Amino acid sequence: MGLPPAQEALAQMSAQRAPGASLAQPAAKARVVILATGGTIAGAGASAANSATYQAAKVPVDKLLASVPELANVAQVRGEQVFQIASESFTDAQLLQLGKRVSALSKQADVDGIVITHGTDTLEETAYFLNLTVHTSKPVVVVGSMRPGTALSADGALNLYNAVATAASPTAGGKGVLVVMNDEIHTGRDVSKSINVRTEAFKSPWGALGMAVEGQTYWFRAPVKRHTVHSEFDIDHIDHLPQVEIAYGYGNASPTAYQAFAASGAKALIHAGTGNGSVSSAVVPALRELRAKGIHIIRSSRVVGGGFVIRNAEQPDDQYDWIVAHDLNPQKARILAALALTKTNDAQVIQRIFMDY
């Protein structure tokens, strides 16, 4: 009695194979380094019911990776503990340290992608800083979670899995620094935390770049602003960031905060204005005086998402030698202003930088 048809076909294929030949080996998995900095993704609550009340930055990177064994299905992974802090405590010095480590790893032949685990409070600032300063086309992904791993319906494990899968994907290369949260892939340039207690907290005013689903990446658009290898800022040559501060616009505002920041040594002030970066008539004279003393005034908006500050609307920026932040929110405007000041003190050049990035 002969073999069943399927087994007979396999036997014929085996017989036709050249002597000494072997079946094709699966492609080697991408090598991804995870840099841990703390945050909620490394947090722990007192009980499973604590999704919003917990201690951040408690779980070390080795335990974090061990809690998601499925990572081995999408990449060869190793981890480093860079910091163990809640992200609201991130300083400029730590931004520089992290950026230099990412840059150094990106130059290694045995590293195909990098993931940074991060607290969500300032995740968008770190992602934008890396997007502006790390000269690599390799995938760099920043990820966090809105709930600690001890909580019911914790989101950190899946976020981390999706981040590693994205960093391991060749399709993620050349798109700048990415943020992966809640199955969505965002550009670090646009994304911001817009909700403080739900897993769909991170949104981009111009939309996500794509999605990460079951270890696969799906893309729908690409960034157009300058980033990474096309940036004029290089983390390898930056050791200090000038002081830039943010003052909030509101009804009944006074110039007190602006004047205090200037007295403390600020080189530029981000005005988080109402509407189109509007400035109260009670504040305008003080800002003009500060600009005359050499302090840059940058009009941003406190309005969340989907718009941008128009130059010479609301205020005569050309006349006052002020700058507009375009569509960057105040916290991202602070990052770009500090980097711009490492290159120039010319307001027109800084304005060009805000339009390019």
Distances (CA, A) of 21 to 7, 14, 332: 20, 10, 56
Q: How far is CA 46 from the centre of its chain?
A: 29
- Residues recognised as catalytic: 40, 120
Q: What is the largest CA-CA distance in the chain?
A: 100
* Nearest residue to 331 (alpha-carbon basis) of 156, 87, 102: 87
Q: Is 87 annotated for ligand binding?
A: yes
What pLDDT was estimated at residue 53?
84
**31-230 and 243-356, same CATH topology:** yes
User: What's the CATH code, domain 31-230?
Assistant: 3.40.50.1170
- What is residue 2's DSSP assignment? P
Distance CA 49, CA 60 (A): 22
pTM listed for this prediction: 0.91
Q: Can you tell me which residue has the tokens 């520089």?
A: 96
> What are the boundaries of each domain within the chain?
31-230, 243-356
What is the rounded end-to-end Cα distance, in angstroms, of the chain? 73
Q: Is 171 annotated for ligand binding?
A: no
CATH 3.30.40.10 fits 243-356, yes or no: no
Q: Is 239 annotated for ligand binding?
A: no
What pLDDT was estimated at residue 85?
96
Helix (H) or strand (E) holding 34: strand 31-38
Residues 6+ apart with CB under 8 A from 318: 311, 312
Q: Cβ of 170: how many Cβ atoms within 10 Å?
A: 12
pLDDT tens, the chain, 357 aa long: 444 444 444 344 444 443 433 344 567 999 999 999 999 999 988 888 888 888 888 899 999 999 999 999 999 999 999 999 999 999 999 999 999 999 999 999 999 999 999 999 999 999 999 999 999 999 999 999 999 999 898 999 999 999 999 999 999 999 999 999 999 999 999 999 999 999 999 999 999 999 999 999 999 999 999 999 999 999 999 999 999 999 999 999 999 999 999 999 999 999 999 999 999 999 999 999 999 999 999 999 999 788 899 999 989 999 999 999 999 999 999 999 999 999 999 999 999 999 999
What pLDDT was estimated at residue 125?
98
CB 250 within 8 A of CB 274: yes
Q: How far is CA 276 from the centre of its chain?
A: 25
